[in-house]
Structure 1
């Protein structure tokens, strides 16, 4: 799930996953962090979901994926689009 908060110069995107699926550590990687694994790990919120918030410039098309423990890559079904390799969102 993706949550977005827009302001004039930035969009905060919160990447949200269930606490138990997939099991283990998960980070979001993409254009915004140079595809660096572990740069934006998801942490447990008070509602039991895991999430991380990333501020990005507005009016951008951003590619991203999730990386879970064991080198398991997967997409977000709520992305604005998919190209067979990555999910995309528009900030």
Structure 2
């Protein structure tokens, strides 16, 4: 899931991405991968919280849409259950999550 916070002092939206342990089960690491980091599977490491959830905060440009997915333990791709929409992925034969700012 994610939450959007539009900043008055900057021309960006601060987005907090959160992936709950109850959705992914036990995991060692999660990477947030998408248009905002050129789909680099080795960047976008999310912080593991004490309760087993994962979290990351990004400032994203306004008036844009971004496709993304979560990569769990380098083996499993997961979509965001609260995505604004889903679009077909050209690489994986599945859908990507989309957030619109």
1:14 aligned to which of 13, 16, 23: 16
Structure with the greater alpha carbon radius of gyration: 2
Q: CA deviation at 1:38?
A: 3.0
The number of aligned residues is 90
Q: Given the two structures, how large is their TM-score scaled by the length of structure 1?
A: 0.86
Unaligned runs of 5+ in 2: 89-94
Q: Show the counterpart of 2:92.
A: none
Aligned residues of 1:12 and 1:53 also touching (Cα < 8 A): yes
Alpha-carbon distance in structure 2 between the residues aligned to 1:42 and 1:70: 13
Q: Given the two structures, how large is their TM-score scaled by the length of structure 2?
A: 0.78
Asked whether 1:90 is paired with 2:74, we answer no
Task: List, as ranges, runs of 4+ consecutive aligned residues in structure 1 with deviation greater than 4 Å.
Answer: none
- Change in 2 beyond 3 A, CA 1:70/1:50: closer
Unaligned runs of 5+ in 1: none
Asked whether 1:30 is paired with 2:34, we answer yes
Alpha-carbon distance in structure 2 between the residues aligned to 1:30 and 1:43: 17
